[in-house]
Structure 1
Amino acid sequence: MKMKTSDFNFKLPEELLAEHPSEQRDEARLMVLNRKNETIEHRLFKDIVDYFDEGDVMIMNNTKVFPARLMGNKEKTGAKIEVFLLRELDAETRLWDVLVDPARKIRIGNKLFFGDDDSLVAEVVDNTTSRGRTLRFLFDGSYEEFRQALEDLGETPLPKYIQREVVPEDAERYQTIYAKHEGAVAAPTAGLHFSKHLLKRLEIKGVDFAELTLHVGLGTFAPVEVEDLSKHKMESEQVIIPEETAIRVNEAIDAKKRVCAVGTTSMRAIESSVSANGHLNPFDSWTNKFIHPPYDFGVANCMITNFHTPKSTLIMMVSAFTGHDFLMKAYKEAVKEGYKFYSYGDAMLII
């Protein structure tokens, strides 16, 4: 059955949008959905150990969030401008794709100053979209010093729905404990629930971890503005699946073990590189894959994800994996039971 965007709408009370993470990473709430029996259990995230055995594999996205939000001032007028770094276009010339807010004030040729001492300057060299610009950073030091300046001046890019001030703890909590490769402007949030202690418990049980990298862009959160899902276009995101990861995952598939995608980003990555016989191929490219019902998944038979907002591409992917009616029933229960939604929210295990 062909589904429309409105099929993924539901009433989400504002107070269920999580402004803060749970006190301990692995003590967020966990809703467990069993697709075969269509049963729902209510647990804590650390109880996830009970659902995995020796030889099972978890596929984790090891992208690292960089402090992508900069506050600057426009030359002459001193107007405050927010600059959101999207991606580096050229390291040598220090060209970056960015979003600016308010955009109407920013034109080609304008200069923006950052830091109390204006230690970092950028010039607008191109318009890309209504809010998008290309900036060239003017900086005398080495590339390492330039990146350090961005690190020092940038803020953790919490999602816009979080209205509070960014606090120092966010730099740690809006990052998975296994983050390695910098390049994301948003965290792969299902992975935020793993603590070192929980990973060790899983390891002792014989669960294997296979890492890949998908650098999460803002397109993940872009609203779907068309009813016909086939007309929605996802922004491309960079994906790297090492050969070692493909081997580990394929061994688990052949052994009929549980293969669990940790988060929608891991799921999108592996589904962008699945072979005709349902095995994972190494991959180093970009993906704009949009997964929505109906869809046959090729690699994972299990998934960990957060609770997503109405009509988002993320709930559409999870619906394709879970079954639409069962997922909407689970979401209705989540609202009733006061589960927290979105980036700092609670988690769901789908088996």
Structure 2
Amino acid sequence: MKLSHFNFDLPEELLAEHPAEHRDESRLMVLDRANQTIEHKMFKDVIDYFDEGDVMILNNTKVFPARLYGNKEKTGARIEVFLLRELNQDQRLWDVLVDPARKIRIGNKLYFGDDETLVAEVIDNTTSRGRTLRFLYDGSYNDFRNKLTELGETPLPKYIKREVEPEDEERYQTIYAAKEGAVAAPTAGLHFSKHLLKRLEIKGVERAEVTLHVGLGTFNPVEVEDLSKHKMDSEEIEIKQAAADIINNGIANKKRICAVGTTSMRTIESSVSSSGTLNPYTGWTNKFIFPPYDFSIANCMITNFHTPKSTLLMMISAFAGHDFMKEAYAEAIKEKYKFYSYGDAMLII
């Protein structure tokens, strides 16, 4: 399929600027692939579609406060620094994005915080906006990471034009987030409340946690019409043996296996055995899923509503069927569902 097949007109007012008042009270569109039907529910109704022994696969990555603001030496110019990936813990090297990039060259120093106790030196140019920074800090590594957390802010997506608010620190994080490393939230999981997870547990729904540390590459625009020529950035993933066992037991018992979010789906589809089961794995994935594609593990999916021409939309179109997804998105726009990170959810069964 071509890039143009995934374009549509999305009214700007449907981009969600704030989360729902309560996590599990966002709206839920339910797509039944077998019957080609669409239902409108609340997210907490998702429990009605699962039975004992079914499996939910959750991405337990944790967002760190990746957006910093510093001042350039001499000029004092304000520079945004977006932390992407730690390259070397001992040397405190990080890949970052800087804005405005034209002002930042190798050898420049940036000062952070009112007391300027955190300093970074630019040691390499990686892309037009990308730089490698070496942070200069006298304290221990733990003190250094605490300083980054203290100075950083929740990295809300750029489409959200408002200032970061105190509630964002909690709401732009799943309640089961455990392993720090993501620069963006696995947003399908934002809809789960503690109460809903407990109800699912009582009902006997199994929970398998995997990890994919979401990078900004997930949201990079596709710039080629021929999708086979698009390259995804690599992201770090982990599937432990215990999670693989839960999922494989569900497959063996012909249960509903639900990937919560595109990140969970990419993770499990990156480590499939020749017999169609899930292998444990720790490493990296740059898997790009677009139609046509045969999924091996999950037979159910929870996801948010995605933006035009995004790789996320391409994946769910592969899962639900492209024509059915076009119909569902037209319905979502008509019914004023909210899109993107803080938006509403879709269950595909």
TM-score, normalised via structure 1 length: 0.99
Whole-Å Cα distance in 2 between the matches of residues 117 and 143 of structure 1? 19
Q: What amino acid maps onto 2:83 in structure 1? A: L
Instruction: Compute the displacement of 1:119 (Å).
Output: 1.6
Instruction: Compute the displacement of 1:164 (Å).
Output: 0.1
Whole-Å Cα distance in 1 between the matches of residues 166 and 145 of structure 2? 20
Which residue of the partner structure matches residue 192 of structure 1?
A: 190
Which residue of the partner structure matches residue 244 of structure 1?
A: 242
Q: What amino acid maps onto 2:332 in structure 1? A: A
Instruction: Compute the displacement of 1:19 (Å).
Output: 0.3
SS for the counterpart of 1:290 is: coil
- For each residue in 1:220-274, what CA deviation from the matched residue of structure 2 results, as whole angstroms up to 9, or x when unmatched? 1000011000010000000000000000000000000000000000000000001
Which residue of the partner structure matches residue 206 of structure 1?
A: 204
SS for the counterpart of 2:57 is: strand
Which residue of the partner structure matches residue 32 of structure 1?
A: 30
Identity fraction in percent: 79
Of the three residues 296, 299, 318, the one matched with 1:298 is 296
Q: What amino acid maps onto 1:285 in structure 2? A: G
Which residue of the partner structure matches residue 348 of structure 1?
A: 346
- For each residue in 1:50-73, what CA deviation from the matched residue of structure 2 results, as whole angstroms up to 9, or x when unmatched? 000000000000000000000000
Whole-Å Cα distance in 1 between the matches of residues 232 and 302 of structure 2? 22
Whole-Å Cα distance in 2 between the matches of residues 332 and 204 of structure 1? 36
**Aligned counterparts, 1:170-319, within 5 A:** 170-319=168-317
- For each residue in 1:95-127, what CA deviation from the matched residue of structure 2 results, as whole angstroms up to 9, or x when unmatched? 000000000000000000000111210000000
SS for the counterpart of 1:345 is: coil
Whole-Å Cα distance in 1 between the matches of residues 137 and 318 of structure 2? 47
Say if 2:12 is the partner of 1:14.
yes
Which residue of the partner structure matches residue 140 of structure 2?
A: 142
RMSD over equivalenced CA pairs, Å: 0.3
Say if 2:331 is the partner of 1:333.
yes
SS for the counterpart of 2:223 is: coil
Q: What amino acid maps onto 1:151 in structure 2? A: T
Instruction: Compute the displacement of 1:277 (Å).
Output: 1.4
Q: What amino acid maps onto 1:161 in structure 2? A: Y
- For each residue in 1:25-56, what CA deviation from the matched residue of structure 2 results, as whole angstroms up to 9, or x when unmatched? 00000000000000000000000000000000
Whole-Å Cα distance in 2 between the matches of residues 136 and 226 of structure 1? 34
Whole-Å Cα distance in 2 between the matches of residues 333 and 273 of structure 1? 34
Whole-Å Cα distance in 1 between the matches of residues 13 and 95 of structure 2? 34
Of the three residues 100, 118, 121, the one matched with 2:119 is 121
SS for the counterpart of 2:138 is: coil
Whole-Å Cα distance in 2 between the matches of residues 228 and 119 of structure 1? 48
Q: What amino acid maps onto 2:215 in structure 1? A: G
Whole-Å Cα distance in 1 between the matches of residues 239 and 166 of structure 2? 32
Whole-Å Cα distance in 2 between the matches of residues 230 and 100 of structure 1? 30
Note the residue ranges of structure 1 that are not aligned, 5 or more in a row: none
Of the three residues 87, 92, 95, the one matched with 1:94 is 92
SS for the counterpart of 1:7 is: helix
Q: What amino acid maps onto 1:45 in structure 2? A: F
Instruction: Compute the displacement of 1:275 (Å).
Output: 1.0
Whole-Å Cα distance in 2 between the matches of residues 119 and 171 of structure 1? 24
Instruction: Compute the displacement of 1:92 (Å).
Output: 0.4
Whole-Å Cα distance in 1 between the matches of residues 217 and 310 of structure 2? 11
Whole-Å Cα distance in 1 between the matches of residues 36 and 21 of structure 2? 30
Note the residue ranges of structure 2 that are not aligned, 5 or more in a row: none
